[in-house]
Amino acid sequence: MKTAVQVAACILIAGLAALAVAADVSGEWVFRMPTPNGEMEAKLTMKVDGNKLSGTFVFEGDRKLEISNGTVDGSKLKFTVKRDRPSGGFMIYEMTGAVEGDQIKGMTEADMDGQKVTQEWSAKRK
């Protein structure tokens, strides 16, 4: 009886550990984010290696932005994107998201001329 309880406990622990594994968001996604000038869309390609996340956004005109400092923790994503500004300088976007099946819903936060700006974003697997 004691052995059966130990086996059941091991199976339960293994099942819970499987749930904690990082979501596999590797592959191509369609990224969308509303802006004051209309909805922005980009091809988003991501790769997960353990809990590390890397990837690239490709916008209209083949403008590319790289993901840095990316992590995946279960269904939660966190990463940074740096964008050069046309007027000079750059903006850093701190992005978070949650994977829900073949969709990701998230928030981005950036400092725009001394003010914190937040915006929702989403992505759908291609």
Give the pLDDT of residue 53. 97
d(CA 12, CA 7): 9
Give the pLDDT of residue 7. 41
Give the pLDDT of residue 16. 41
Q: What is the mean pLDDT of residues 52-61?
A: 96
**Helices H / strands E in the chain, number of each:** 1, 8
Give the pLDDT of residue 2. 56
Q: Could you read off the pLDDT of 63-95 as tens digits, one per residue?
A: 999 999 999 999 999 999 999 888 888 899 999
Where residue 112 falls among pLDDT bands split at 50, 70, 90? confident
* 90 burial via Cβ count (<10 Å: 0-12, 13-18, 19+): exposed
Give the pLDDT of residue 10. 41
Where residue 23 falls among pLDDT bands split at 50, 70, 90? confident
CA angle at residue 91 from 88 to 96, to 5 degrees? Answer: 165
Amino acid in position 37: N
Does the global pTM surpass 0.75? yes
Q: Looking at residue 21, what DSSP letter applies?
A: S
Given the candidates 3.90.1150.10, 2.40.128.120, 3.40.190.10, 1.10.10.10, the CATH classification of the domain at 22-125 is 2.40.128.120
Helix then strand then coil, in percent of the chain rounded to 5, is 15, 65, 20
